[in-house]
Amino acid sequence: MARSEKEYESPFSARYISSEMSFLFSAQFKFGTFRRLWIALAKAQQKLGLPITDSQIAQMEAHVGQIDFAKAHEYEKKFRHDVMAHIHAFGDQCPDAKSIIHLGATSSYVTDNTDLIQMKEALKLLLNKLSQIIKLLASFAEKEAASPCLSYTHYQSAQPTTIGKRACLWLQDFLMDAIEWERHIQNLPFLGAKGATGTQASFLSLFNGDTAKLERVEQTISQEFGFSKVLPIAGQTYTRKLDLNLLNALESFAASAHKMATDIRLLSHEEEIQEGFGKDQVGSSAMPYKRNPIYSERICGIARFVMSLAQNPAYTTATQWFERTLDDSSNRRLSIPESFLGVDAILNLLHHLLTNLSVDRGQALDHLHQELPFLAMENILMLAVKKGGSRQTAHEKLRQLAISSKIEKLSTESLIHQIEKTLDLKADELKAFFKPEALYGAAPQQVHAFIKQEIAPFLAKHAKNAPSFPQTEI
């Protein structure tokens, strides 16, 4: 029996996520980054005068990617400490450098800096994908900018909008999320080399009390890993508010995706917007006619999972005792990777959804025409007031007409005739309000202006981003 059939396999790995995101949270990337951090520390210490040789560094560099995981596992069973296990496994491969690996550092030097490197790289990957989602959705919105449809407030029929304008509601939320992700990528700080309690005492001892060298060693290492700033104050670990803020940004995106997918699920019931449906796709094992919006449903399900994970860093931040405690470690090993994997899955599903989305404009227009006589009443109310009538009186008369019309199921022509008599308005004046384009206001212009002024500059900045999306077949 195959391993995947007799042991638990994450649905993320099996179904939804990209190989690029999977690699960023793999053991190879994590512990390979430990080694890169040890090498960067040794190089910086050598430049600042510590007795570290080029041959020691060369030996470390020669084995940076050759991790003996079996040996590391044996050491971890012995030491009950993953960082010490990998120090020894690396030292076995680099005997000449064994004495200077992890010199002056505490475990958080590699664990926390690696977490920050992982999260920054993962967020870059997500932002690249989100920029493509924004591009697809903007194209959809422009195409449907003047396609009229019913709008809904309280899920009750309301004044018409356009399909493109509704898409811009989703688009604006995604743009806000993208801008927030950009901010985190630019501002996320490096922990640096802070020592056991954040005082850098061990490094200060190595540099014979030269505080200037403390700053230089941190700047050298942080710049090598693409960080423009170093966290100025820390305990043993970086403040867990960094995790809290970053996962909140992922949660915000998940909420945006959930809102869009929910709207599409509701609209698919109305048959106005439909997901792509494969030639051999089965909607239900019992009901052969079913055509379910499965990708929108999956987006909602995973989004709820991501939103639930964002609670974890709040609890972790709140329960960090003094300079650090260790109950955060097991939680963060789960909540941080799963949050990023979840968002990657949502983006992959969104890409599949948007590249296979279809609109039935005729169905949307039919639904609109069914409600049009009632939707025109707001504009008719404005006309009555312009002609000198009382707003409150006209409102009450229209309200009564609407109720009786619903009960009696009057035709549009009959309703116009009733309004004409009740408000002393001319039929020709009223008929103009029963055209969809007279009721959806400036929706098309809003779409084009929003995309030109807000979306286009963002997409221009990310024009070179062309991530590959996995085939979402399941």
Contacts (Cβ under 8 Å, ≥6 apart) of 224: 40
From the candidates 19, 99, 284, 411, which is the catalytic residue?
A: 284
Give CA–CA dist 315/298, Å, rounded.
Answer: 27
Of 171, 173, 146, 328, whose CA–CA distance to 237 is shortest? 328
Contacts (Cβ under 8 Å, ≥6 apart) of 231: 189, 190, 191, 192, 238, 239
Contacts (Cβ under 8 Å, ≥6 apart) of 8: none
Beta bridge partners of 156: 153
What is the phi-psi region of residue 419: left when phi exceeds 0, alpha when psi lies from -120 to 50, beta otherwise?
Answer: alpha
- Reading the block at residue 403, the tokens are 């109720």
Backbone CA torsion sign across 41, 45, 50, 51: positive
Give CA–CA dist 237/313, Å, rounded.
Answer: 14
Helix (H) or strand (E) holding 404: helix 391-408
**Does the annotation mark 102 as catalytic?**
no
C-alpha distances out from residue 12 to 132, 342, 344, 345, 349, Å: 21, 7, 9, 7, 12
- Are the C-beta atoms of 236 and 106 separated by less than 8 Å? yes
- Reading the block at residue 143, the tokens are 């195409």
Length of the chain: 474
| CB count in 10 Å sphere of residue 221 | 25
**Does the annotation mark 329 as catalytic?**
no
* Catalytically active residues, by annotation: 154, 284
